Structure 1
C-alpha cells in the first residue's frame, strides 16, 4: 500500500514539530507538505531540519505549493487559519485532521460544511487517554446525576490563548449531554463576588494558565460525604501527535464526513 501523504500546518511551532517527528517515525505515512504563516522565518526551510534530517519538502505559506500532492492536512493552528485551510482542502479533495480549538458556532458550522466535500476528523483533543476519559465521564455523569456538584478544572501553559480549553468544554458537553442538558444552559464560566448558593444543576469551570503546563484536566463530582475526581494530565504533546496520525489512518478510506476521536477509537 502506498503510504498516505500528510502535511502539517504550523510546521515551525511546538505542536507542528511534534507532528513532523511523529510522522517521520511512523513508517506507514510520509511527510509530503508543510505550511506556516506568511513572513515566518521558517519559510523555504526543510521542516525536518530541527531533527537534523531531510524530508525533501519545504515549508510554504502558499497553499497550492504547500499542499501539492498531499492526501491529508493535520492542523493545530488558529481558527481563522484553519477555516481558510478547510475551505481549500474541501475544494481540492484533501482530507483534514483538525485539532485547533477556540471556534465559535459559525466556525464549527463552516467545518461541518467542508466535511460534506471531504473527510474531516475534528476534535478538541487528539489524546487517546483524553478520549477514553470522555467515555468515563459520560458513564460517571449518569451515575452521579443527583446529589453531586460538578466542577471542571483545567490548567495550561501561559501561551494558550483560549479559555476554557476546548477539552474542558468538550468534557462539559459530554457530561451535560449524559444528564439531558445543554451545556450553554448550565455552564458557570467564572465566579466572583457574592454569587449566592450554588445551583445544583450547574457545571462550573475553573481555568489556570501558567508556566509550561501541557494540559491538565480534572472533573470533580462532589457529593455529601464523598468526592470523586476523574483526571487526565499530559506530560508531553506526543500523545496529541500519535492520536492525530491514528486519526489520519482512520480517514484513509473515507471520502467525506465529519468524525471525532470517539469514532476513531470505536467508542460510540
Structure 2
C-alpha cells in the first residue's frame, strides 16, 4: 500500500487526489503547499505527486532527489530548463511527467501519433482545447502533449512546426504545421480535439473530461505504478503498457 505525498495539497487537483486515495488502496502521507518545507513530506512518502505551480517544481524535484523518492509531475507550464532538470533527475529516481493524468488521454495520445504517422504530410493537424475560465496557461499542457504526439508521428520536432496561435492577416496555413486554438470559459473541466483535415475529408479524435476525479484517479494509479519502477523518465503511456 503506497503512501502518497501531494505538492499542491490545497489546490483543485490536490484535493481531488486526496479524496480518491482511500478508494484506490493507497494512503495519504500528507501534503505541502507554498511556504512549507517540501523535503519534510518527501521523507514521509513512498511517492510524490506534484500539482502545484511551475515556479515550485524545481524545489520539489530537489526534495525528491534528496530523499530518493519517485515523483509524478502533473504541473503544466514548465520551461525547457525545467524539462532538462527532469531529464537529469530521472537518471537517479523514477519521474513521470505528464500534462494530463487521464488514462483516456494517454490512449488518445497514442492514437494521434499513429494517425499522424500513417496519414502523412498531406493532412493538416489542428488541436482545439477548451478549459474553465480560471486556467492560467494556454495552450494547455494536454494540448501540447497531443501536439508532441502528432509531431512524433510525423517525424518532426514540435518546436519547429507548432503554431500556438493566429491573429491578423497571417496568410494561408503553412503545410506541415500543427495548429493550436485555446478556448476559455465557464467551468469546463477539459475538452481536447485533434483534427486531421485532408482533401475532402476529416478525421477527428477527441476526449472530454466531465469530472476532475478522472485525473485524480489516473494520478493515483500512475503513482502506484511509479513506485515500483527503476529510475527513468516515464509518461502515462507506460502506465498503460503502451
TM-score normalised over the length of structure 1: 0.86
**1:65–1:177 CA distance, 2 compared to 1 (3 A):** closer
* Structure 1 residue 68 corresponds to structure 2 residue 46: no
Alignment of 1:1-268 (within 5 A): 3-27=1-25, 29-38=26-35, 61-267=36-242
**1:166–1:64 CA distance, 2 compared to 1 (3 A):** closer
Gaps of 5+ in 2: none
Pairwise CA distance, 1:64: 3.9
User: Aligned with 1:67: secondary structure?
Assistant: helix
1:72-112 superposed Cα distances (whole Å, 9 cap, x missing partner): 11111111212211111111111111111111110011112
CA contact (8 A) 2:43 2:67 kept: no
TM-score normalised over the length of structure 2: 0.95
**1:222–1:70 CA distance, 2 compared to 1 (3 A):** same
User: Aligned with 2:108: secondary structure?
Assistant: helix
Pairwise CA distance, 1:143: 2.6
Deviating more after overlay: 169-178 vs 253-262: 253-262
User: Aligned with 2:21: secondary structure?
Assistant: helix
Pairwise CA distance, 1:255: 4.0
Supply the distance in 1 between the matched residues of 2:44 and 2:225 (Cα, whole angstroms). Answer: 19
Supply the distance in 2 between the matched residues of 1:197 and 1:118 (Cα, whole angstroms). Answer: 46
| Bigger relative CO (Cα 8 Å, ≥ 6 apart) | 2
Supply the distance in 2 between the matched residues of 1:68 and 1:179 (Cα, whole angstroms). Answer: 43
Larger Rg: 1
Gaps of 5+ in 1: 39-60
Supply the distance in 2 between the matched residues of 1:265 and 1:104 (Cα, whole angstroms). Answer: 27
Give the aligned CA root-mean-square deviation in angstroms: 1.3
Supply the distance in 1 between the matched residues of 2:207 and 2:139 (Cα, whole angstroms). Answer: 16
CA contact (8 A) 1:34 1:67 kept: no
Q: For residue 48 of structure 1, what is the aligned residue in structure 2?
A: none
Supply the distance in 2 between the matched residues of 1:78 and 1:71 (Cα, whole angstroms). Answer: 22
Supply the distance in 2 between the matched residues of 1:19 and 1:212 (Cα, whole angstroms). Answer: 19
Pairwise CA distance, 1:212: 1.0
**1:62–1:221 CA distance, 2 compared to 1 (3 A):** same
